[in-house]
Structure 1
Amino acid sequence: MVTDLLWVLAGLLLLLAGAELLVRGASALALRLGITPVVVGLTVVAFGTSSPELVVSVTAALHGQPGVALGNVVGSNICNLALILGLTALIRPVAVHTRVILLDMPLMIGVSLVTWGLLADGRLGRFDGLLLTIGVVVFTGFSVRQGRREASSIQQDFGESVGGAATRLPPSILAVVGGLVVLTFGGRLLVDGAIGIARGAGVSEAVIGLTLVAVGTSLPELATSAVAALRG
């Protein structure tokens, strides 16, 4: 059990380091290729902070552990709404943009309901996965288009966050590759450790995915939100 816990902790550290490398490298690479900072912020940075959840769930699915994969996805979303948003509001009250109330929140609820419907038959097939992936692509494109219209403040924020990254191509590519490798290795360690803990404690892998794994993979979002709240 102790060894499994150490694997989980090591996996979490590697996931955090890998996500940071990936975001910095991909952001610098995108800017180097002429992509505007606002687009980088709405795509590379946004997906980069979600990379631990993605890597862990894919790793678990590939190794025949669907309980961990699905539990991580559901648990991470619960953590994002309850834990991360709650702690952020405790640090500093959060001003909510009208778009969040009128568009983003209804869309999030809609996606959750669609996903619930797809899971209702007890199986999430490849066609279901394709539908969800297409939805993400469409939403990202829409967000980028809207973001360009409001680019003044967003561009300044993300320009500052990614502007200090490497501007030469080789270091950026190396950071992306290194980040992916570290993420993959960290995801494997975390999944192995989580499965060991589940078996040792006599609980289902889905429960471990919903709790320990979900909280761990949500740490990048928690750190980002907490820092943003502290900075006002």
Structure 2
Amino acid sequence: MLIAVGLLIVGLALLVWSADKLVYGSAAVAKNMGISPLVIGMTILAMGSSAPEMMVSATAALDGKTDTAIGNVIGSNIANIALILGIAALIKPLSIGSTILRRELPLMMIVTVIAGFLLWDNYFGFSEGIILMVLFVGFILMMLKISKEEKNNNDVLLDQQESEIPDGVDNKKAIFWVIVGLILLLISSKLVVDNAVIIAKFFGMSDLIIGLTIIAIGTSLPELAASVAGVMKGEDDMAVGNVIGSNIFNILAVMGLPGLINPSMISEHIMGRDFWVMLGISTLLVLMALGKSRRISRIEGGILFVCFLAYQGYLFYNVSS
């Protein structure tokens, strides 16, 4: 048991590190190929923080654990808002200045509702996976169009994204990190899933609960690091944007994978409990971010954080469901 816990921690650490190196190398290669900073920022950098969720969900689905894969998505989205933005706002109130973010927030709500429709019958199949992947491609194209429009208006989020693109990295070094990142992502995601299952069995946890708790929190670590770093540098829009973008990518791209890989019945608790928590927390974020002040205050951050603790406490009290 202790070995499994140790290997899980190692796997999560490797998962976060390898995802960062993959994004670093991919962004550098793209820049060396002459791809515009706008495109790199809205695709590679924006999707990078969802790489751990994507690899873990794919690995879980390949192992026949669709509940874990979908639980990882829902749990990560809840953690992104309630834990990460809650902590970030407690450190410093978050101001929402980007027009792009104010457009992305309603899109996040729309894709969340779409996920509910697709999960409603407690079956997640191949056709649902295809629908989400098609919507994912459409979302990327839409965001590129919106970003090009806002570029002329000097949107603060685009400037902050472009500042994160690595500069002066030669192709050999960039490709090396892409390869290392991919290999370690595969290894670490397998470590995380296999040892999470061992721990879940020891404590009598269901596949869904392990996805909603340990795995979801672990795969959200890149967003936590990025958001806290953004807040400390005064890049509030970047901190919030990482979370919103990650939640949309999680639902469209990451949730789509289990449907394509392992279509199956899913736990009734997903639609009976967890989806509604994700929808409620998402709605709370929209109300806070798009209110008159266009900011998330410390009090509101505290509310989000308490919601996260209450939800996790409830899950650990009901570990078998």
Please report the TM-score for the alignment, with normalisation by the length of structure 2.
0.69
Hey, what does 1:226 align to over in structure 2? 228
Deviation at 1:99, TM superposition (A): 3.8
Hey, what does 2:201 align to over in structure 1? 199
Using the alignment, how far apart are the partners of 1:101 and 1:48 within structure 2? 18
Aligned residue runs from structure 1 range 9-88, under 5 A: 9-88=9-88
Letter in 2 for 1:143: M
Matched position secondary structure for 2:72 = helix
Hey, what does 2:212 align to over in structure 1? 210
Q: Is the 8 A contact 1:59 1:188 kept in 2?
A: yes
**Deviation sequence 1:102-154 (CA, Å, 0-9, x none):** 53222211111111111111111111111111111111111112222333445
Deviation at 1:7, TM superposition (A): 1.5
Same amino acid, percent of matched pairs: 38
Higher helix share: 1
Using the alignment, how far apart are the partners of 2:88 and 2:198 within structure 1? 32
1:163 paired to 2:143? no
**Deviation sequence 1:170-200 (CA, Å, 0-9, x none):** 2222211211111110100000111001000
Aligned residue runs from structure 1 range 39-188, under 5 A: 39-97=39-97, 99=99, 102-151=102-151, 152=154, 153-164=156-167, 166=169, 168-188=170-190
Letter in 2 for 1:183: L
Using the alignment, how far apart are the partners of 1:81 and 1:133 within structure 2? 23
Q: Is the 8 A contact 2:98 2:157 kept in 1?
A: no
Letter in 2 for 1:159: E
Hey, what does 1:7 align to over in structure 2? 7
Hey, what does 1:189 align to over in structure 2? 191
Using the alignment, how far apart are the partners of 1:90 and 1:133 within structure 2? 35
Could you tell me which runs of 5 or more consecutive residues in structure 2 were left unpaired when the two chains were aligned: 235-321
- Between 1:22-31 and 1:121-130, the stretch displaced more is 121-130
Q: Is the 8 A contact 1:7 1:192 kept in 2?
A: no
Using the alignment, how far apart are the partners of 2:176 and 2:149 within structure 1? 33
**Deviation sequence 1:58-100 (CA, Å, 0-9, x none):** 0000011112111101100001111111111111111124646
Using the alignment, how far apart are the partners of 2:36 and 2:175 within structure 1? 18
Q: Is the 8 A contact 1:80 1:218 kept in 2?
A: yes
CA 1:21–1:98 in structure 2 vs 1: closer, same or farther (change >3 Å)? closer
Q: Is the 8 A contact 1:198 1:204 kept in 2?
A: yes
Could you tell me which runs of 5 or more consecutive residues in structure 1 were left unpaired when the two chains were aligned: none
Q: Is the 8 A contact 1:24 1:165 kept in 2?
A: no
Q: Is the 8 A contact 2:100 2:157 kept in 1?
A: no
Using the alignment, how far apart are the partners of 2:55 and 2:115 within structure 1? 20
Deviation at 1:158, TM superposition (A): 3.3
Q: Is the 8 A contact 1:67 1:205 kept in 2?
A: yes
Using the alignment, how far apart are the partners of 1:5 and 1:146 within structure 2? 44
- Between 1:129-138 and 1:220-229, the stretch displaced more is 129-138
Hey, what does 2:260 align to over in structure 1? none
CA 1:102–1:148 in structure 2 vs 1: closer, same or farther (change >3 Å)? closer
Query: Which structure ranks higher in relative contact order (CA pairs < 8 Å, sequence separation ≥ 6)?
Result: 1
